[in-house]
Amino acid sequence: MMLNYNIAKTDWQSLAFRVMQKGIWSYTDGNEYRFYISKDAIQWSSPSIIYSIMFFFGSISRYHPYFFENILNAKEQWLISKFMRTQPMQFLYYVTSKVVGNNIYKSQTDSL
């Protein structure tokens, strides 16, 4: 629990510790964040996670369209919407980066 409205470093550490106790842990290499579930989880790369989630959404939209509709109508719809808007392109950047052998960067000014 926070003692006041100003977030202190100890508040962030306490939150991180409680989340880790629930079985979710993460780290960053300075470029990206990676999240893992449980202490024994297989460490997947970000492109693998994006591909798996896109495959899941594709499968349920094809074989269980009513379930996909329920997900889109749920209160977490904003999260799925954000994922669908950003991550397919991010996946293409990851794959292109691996094929080319260099990091691929997108200019933030191209959408102005």
Q: Which helix (H) or strand (E) holds 16?
A: helix 9-21
Q: What is the pLDDT of residue 97?
A: 87
pTM value > 0.85: no
Ramachandran region of residue 38, left (φ > 0), alpha (ψ -120 to 50) or beta? left
Tell me what percent of the residues of the chain surpass a pLDDT of 70.
Answer: 66
Helix (H, G, I), strand (E, B) or coil at 100: helix
Q: What is the overall mean pLDDT for the chain?
A: 75
Residue 62: pLDDT over 80 = yes
Instruction: Supply the DSSP symbol for 9.
Output: H
Give the model confidence (pLDDT) of 39-58 as tens digits: 555 567 778 888 888 888 88
At residue 70 the predicted structure's pLDDT band, cuts being 50, 70 and 90, is confident
